[in-house]
Amino acid sequence: KMFMNGFSGDLEAAHAASTQIAGEAVTNVRTVAAFNSESKIVSLFGSNLKVPLRRCFWKGQIAGSGFGVAQFLLYGSYSLGLWYASWLVKHHISDFSKTIRVFMVLMVSANGAAETLTLAPDFIKGGRAMRSVFSLIDRKTEIEPDEADGLKPDRLRGEVELKHVDFSYPTRPDIPVFRDLTLRARAGKCLALVGPSGCGKSSVLALVVRFYDPSSGRVLIDGKDLRKYNLNALRQHIAVVQQEPSLFATTIYDNIAYGRDGATEAEIVAAAAAANADKFISGLPDGYKTQVGERGVQLSGGQRQRIAIARALVRNPALLLLDEATSALDAESERCVQEAIERTSAARTTIVVAHRLSTVRNAQTIAVIEEGKVTEQGSHSHLLHHHPDGCYARMIQLQRFNHQGQLHLPASTAGAASSASGPSA
């Protein structure tokens, strides 16, 4: 059993690795095609199949040998039993009918034992699957969304505060994300989080939704510790738009309606209009009944993002969390969606994570996060006036410089092209 168990474990791991390569190649087929990596993927997939091939060969040899031994013992027991039965009858120790009955019992028992031996690999495989399933079932959940206890507010004001929070991801406990982070989003106002990549802006949203608990410190909503709330009841008042929008393989209508059970058609259309999505949806042949495909592959990135925003708005949340919600939009769509967000933010607390600083200029509070702490905080004008050499001012200047460079790029490119074509003319 231990021998077969080891073979099965290695074989499953090898199969999983090769299957992962195939799955990633199919999922990222456009990237593979764009970089002419088809042969590389095939070669990598083939090299990963060599291990399962060797494992399958030896596993087949062992299973075949075991089957041969089982069959040998089976028919050997038949022969031995038949010889002994004939010896008993010949010497008048037992009569023929009794001997045949005993022999038939022996045959059935031996056949059952042999069949059981041939099923041993399946028993081992099933036992491993059961252990993995029950290990998940028996695992103690640190954050229990189905717990009946806890506060169940009918409505939230939306006051959010992080007090002296330390946090590290469970998979990277030695890498701190926050060190004594203190941050506040006032009810009904907009808080924008900016800072270098990897500084923990999105992690703030993860703590507010309570995907994780902080290592130390507290996260408060309306002055109460987040851990005192019933998690399901709390999340009814929160809507999140992720940086990479997740759509389901169904219609646009159903994807927006997913934001709130019982949403009417008028509410869904209004949410789509607020997210600047109604115009392009109405222009599709099937309108709101258009199938988006798996993960929304039938739509562009900007269209997926706007549908995700509409799904959040139809929820009418007290707390709206936007993680780079306009990152995939063109300038015109970004402007329209930004205006819609500003209009809909009037009655709710909004926390925005953004790299494009043009989208957060009108936020009442802008917090700059660096190295796990808030280093600057205030309005756009306040930060530029009181921290002219700060991180926010530098980011503004850098993005302004990049924008101006992009504006002049076509002319310089054209000039370079003209100079390149001049000598050959």
Residues 6+ apart with CB under 8 A from 249: 291, 292, 293, 294, 295
| The pLDDT of residue 185 is above 50 | yes
* Exposure letters 240-275 (e unless 16+ CB within 10 A, then b): bbbeebebeeebbbbbbbebbeebeeebbbbbbbbb
The whole-chain average pLDDT of the chain stands at 80
| The pLDDT of residue 51 is above 70 | no
Q: For residue 248, what are its two tokens?
A: 């389901």
**216 φ/ψ angles, rounded to the nearest 5 degrees:** -150, 165
pLDDT: is 350 or 390 the higher one? 350
| The pLDDT of residue 333 is above 90 | no
| The pLDDT of residue 37 is above 60 | yes
Least confident of 54-68, 95-109, 293-307: 54-68
By the 10 Å C-beta count (0-12 exposed, 13-18 middle, 19+ buried), 364 is classed as middle
* Tally of residues, the chain: 425
Question: 83-123: per-residue pLDDT in tens?
Answer: 888 888 888 887 888 878 887 887 787 777 767 766 766 77
Question: 240-258: per-residue pLDDT in tens?
Answer: 888 778 888 889 999 999 8
Least confident of 25-39, 106-120, 301-315: 106-120
Q: Which pLDDT score, from 0 to 100, does residue 8 have? A: 53
Least confident of 163-167, 252-256, 398-402: 398-402
pLDDT band (50, 70, 90) for residue 415: very low
| The pLDDT of residue 373 is above 80 | yes
Q: For residue 292, what are its two tokens?
A: 């988006």
Q: Which pLDDT score, from 0 to 100, does residue 217 have? A: 92
Q: For residue 362, what are its two tokens?
A: 């009108």
| The pLDDT of residue 267 is above 80 | yes
The fraction of the chain above a pLDDT of 90, given in percent, is 13
Domains of the chain and any CATH numbers:
8-138 (no CATH), 160-403 (3.40.50.300)
Q: What is the rounded distance in angstroms from the CA atom of residue 219 to the CA atom of residue 201?
A: 15
pTM of the model: 0.70
- Mean pLDDT is highest, among 125-134, 256-265, 296-305, for 256-265
CB–CB of 221/159 below 8 Å?
yes
Q: What is the rounded distance in angstroms from the CA atom of residue 236 to the CA atom of residue 300?
A: 29
Q: Which pLDDT score, from 0 to 100, does residue 32 have? A: 82
Question: 194-242: per-residue pLDDT in tens?
Answer: 988 888 888 999 999 999 999 999 999 998 999 889 888 888 899 888 8
Residue 302 CB: number of other CB atoms within 10 A?
20
Question: CA geometry: angle at 176 spanning 138 and 162, to 5°?
Answer: 85
